[in-house]
Amino acid sequence: METIALAEVAAVLADPSRATMCLVLLDGRAWTVGELAKAAGIALSTASEHVTRLVDAGFVARVKQGRASYVRIADPRVAELIEHLAQHAEHRLVTGLKSSLRVKRLGFARTCYDHLAGVLGVALRDGMLATGLIDADGGLALTGRGREVLAGLGVPIGTGRRSPLRDCL
């Protein structure tokens, strides 16, 4: 039944530590369990249990690199789900100065899983559109000139399916 499945998925993010881990992972990097534990303010053993639950639910994937083990968002659909839920949560009233400053800073400059976001990201996107570095008709794909300019600045150009500059909710 779809209702039960929805409740099970929602329960994965119902824990503040797991939700924090998922929000941290939206930066697009792979993190160690220890780094996630520190970000969530919990013990390493507890973080390991939470990561296992996130892996079992398909939210994150473990990646081995040599002797190190990393955790990353499983796929862009999961990132979009977390982004949408976080955005919905941001519509709640700010309850203190710390929250207010965090919201302002995140609204100004941030990444959103695999693309630029915030006021700064929108300004960069608009500037790149205005100067012909990206093509609005091509799904915000870099133009040849855009690739040259970014390569000249030393900016790595990903080969992923999604553009690092895209319309973001």
pTM of the model: 0.57
Q: Contact 109/120 with Cβ under 8 angstroms?
A: yes
Q: What is the CATH number of domain 2-76?
A: 1.10.10.10
Tell me the C-alpha distance between 21 and 127, whole Å: 33
Amino acid identity of residue 168, one-letter, is C
**Burial (CB count within 10 angstroms: exposed 0-12, middle 13-18, buried 19+), residue 95:** exposed
Taking residue 150's Cβ as centre, other Cβ atoms within 10 Å add up to: 16
- Residue range(s) in the chain whose domain bears CATH number 1.10.10.10: 2-76
Per-residue pLDDT reduced to its tens digit, 137-160: 766 678 888 888 888 888 777 665
Which residue shows structure tokens 């990444």?
111
What is the enclosing helix (H) or strand (E) of 63? Answer: strand 60-65
Whether 74 shows a pLDDT value over 60: the answer reads: yes
